[in-house]
Structure 1
Amino acid sequence: MLSIGEFSKICEVSTKTLRYYAEIGLLTPEEINPENGYRYYSIGQLKTMLLINRLKSYHFSLEEIKAVLESDVDQSEEVLRSALNRKRREVQEKLKSLEYTLGQMSQDILNLEQGVPIMSYLDQIEVQLVETRPLNILSLRRMMSRDDYALGYGAYFGRLYEMIATEKLTMLGTPMTIYHSPEYDPAGNDTEFAIPIAKAVKGTRDLPGGLCAKSVLKGSYSELTSVYAKLREWIEHEGYVLVNSPYEIYVTDPNQISAGEELITEVYFPVKKK
């Protein structure tokens, strides 16, 4: 048996952290002396602690690690493999995002060295006035936080695709998202996921057509806030007002392209003259 201090030293984990792990049921001491409260860990628990450290280095949360450790013995390897695959996808997405950010920073530095203002890219965003046609959309509407967006887009559009396949419906366009909240709330925003279809069935509604200020983003979704800012500036400058919820149409499928620069997103702001 190892004292908590010895266990701490070998695994390079503070005794405070070990006590917290015991408190949340992640790793409890093999033995606690009832007289003095001293904690002791078995040699076998070294392997568990090393696994915890390894999974933490892979950016697993303590809750995720606990779920892996508590899985049935017969299924533990499969649970771990599935969890690692999921986390690898998350890390790959973060790497893509960091690579994009690094490229953006490099371009900003180059522009500044050449005397080009850092925000001049806003002047390159084009806005046009278009007349859209009414659409019949199959949709799901939810309150979504920022984290929900990252994890939920695929899930909710996946459910819509399943409904379309089950009901043998005909799609008339690519997926779209409609943002109904009047302001941004980190706790949750009123978001509608939709796909245009030919037939009106249960779960569908009409999306009215009409006059819209439209812009097209070719690149990462992280640039959408710039497009929204440009559209609002254009609407104000040209004497229009927003009359309905803005929406995005995803022309390209992010799962079918090799680089974020290939993404094409259309942004629509329904408007009318003041």
Structure 2
Amino acid sequence: MKLKIGEFARLGQVTVQTLRYYADLDLLRPGEVDPFTGYRYYLLDQLPALHRILALKDMGIPLEQVKRLLHDNISPEEMRRILLLKQDEIRSQVQNSLDQLERIDIRLKMLEHKSKPTNYEIDIKHVDALQVASVTGEVPDYRDVGPLWMELSECIQASKLQVDAPYLTLCHATEPRIKLEVCAPVGNPIDDAPQGLVRVLPEVKTML
């Protein structure tokens, strides 16, 4: 049964432009072209081929590779191998996106902590020992602590640590330069963190 290009497009739920594009790629050519009018006709039994093209394209397989898969009449085992490779590629992309989301979450928590108004009331309290991930460095001014937070964020992400607020900034020295340590609490014991990244802040019985 011959179908005009518009009829075949509606049946396959694609546009006429898509069918013309597939024909130009030699991916799915019309079953017949009228030599006098140039009208393109598709055959009803070409519909499964169109559905295979759309299914493979929907899985992210490039059209050039789809063309080879269809024209070479590859075996089911070869098709399975290709789909497994595509599956691994997509999983890697998803993991990269999750890693990016985690980095964004860490930065947002840090920004939230630093944007909170400072309470200058004096409060004498007892502070328990606290396990933290920390980075120490010297800065010319207290306002230059930003790069230390950036470095800590990258270390936390690389080590896949689970941290929580509140974040701390400790001052170890003021002369000749200001020595600061930025800290993020780590909830669970860490056995495989890089040496020097995680430490336990000692208990402080009296702190202002």
User: What's the TM-score, normalizing by structure 1?
Assistant: 0.43
1:44 has 2:59 as partner: no
Contact kept in structure 1, 2:103 and 2:153, CA below 8 Å: no
Q: Which has the larger radius of gyration?
A: 2
Taking the aligned partners of 1:114 and 1:90, their CA distance within structure 2 comes to 36
| Secondary structure of the structure 2 residue equivalent to 1:68 | helix
Deviations 1:207-265 (A, max 9, x none): xxxxxxxx9x9459xxxxxxxxxxxxxxxxxxxxxxxxxxxxxxxxxxxxxxxxx898x
Deviations 1:155-175 (A, max 9, x none): xxxxxxxxxxxxxxxxxxxxx
Q: 1:76 to 1:7 in 2, by over 3 A?
A: farther
Contact kept in structure 2, 1:111 and 1:118, CA below 8 Å: no
Relative contact order, higher structure (CA 8 A, sep 6+): 2
Question: Unpaired segments of 5 or more residues in structure 1?
Answer: 127-214, 221-261, 265-274
Taking the aligned partners of 2:111 and 2:41, their CA distance within structure 1 comes to 59
User: What's the TM-score, normalizing by structure 2?
Assistant: 0.55
Contact kept in structure 1, 2:4 and 2:42, CA below 8 Å: yes
| Secondary structure of the structure 2 residue equivalent to 1:35 | coil
Match of 2:198 in 1: none
1:87 has 2:86 as partner: yes
Match of 2:99 in 1: 100
Paired AA for residue 103 in structure 1: E
Match of 1:115 in 2: 114
Across the aligned residues of Structure 1 and Structure 2, the Cα RMSD in angstroms comes to 3.0
Report the number of matched residues.
132
Q: 1:39 to 1:5 in 2, by over 3 A?
A: same
Paired AA for residue 83 in structure 1: I
Contact kept in structure 1, 2:12 and 2:47, CA below 8 Å: yes
Match of 2:204 in 1: none
Q: 1:51 to 1:104 in 2, by over 3 A?
A: same
Q: 1:55 to 1:119 in 2, by over 3 A?
A: farther
Question: Unpaired segments of 5 or more residues in structure 2?
Answer: 116-144, 161-191, 195-208
1:124 has 2:152 as partner: yes
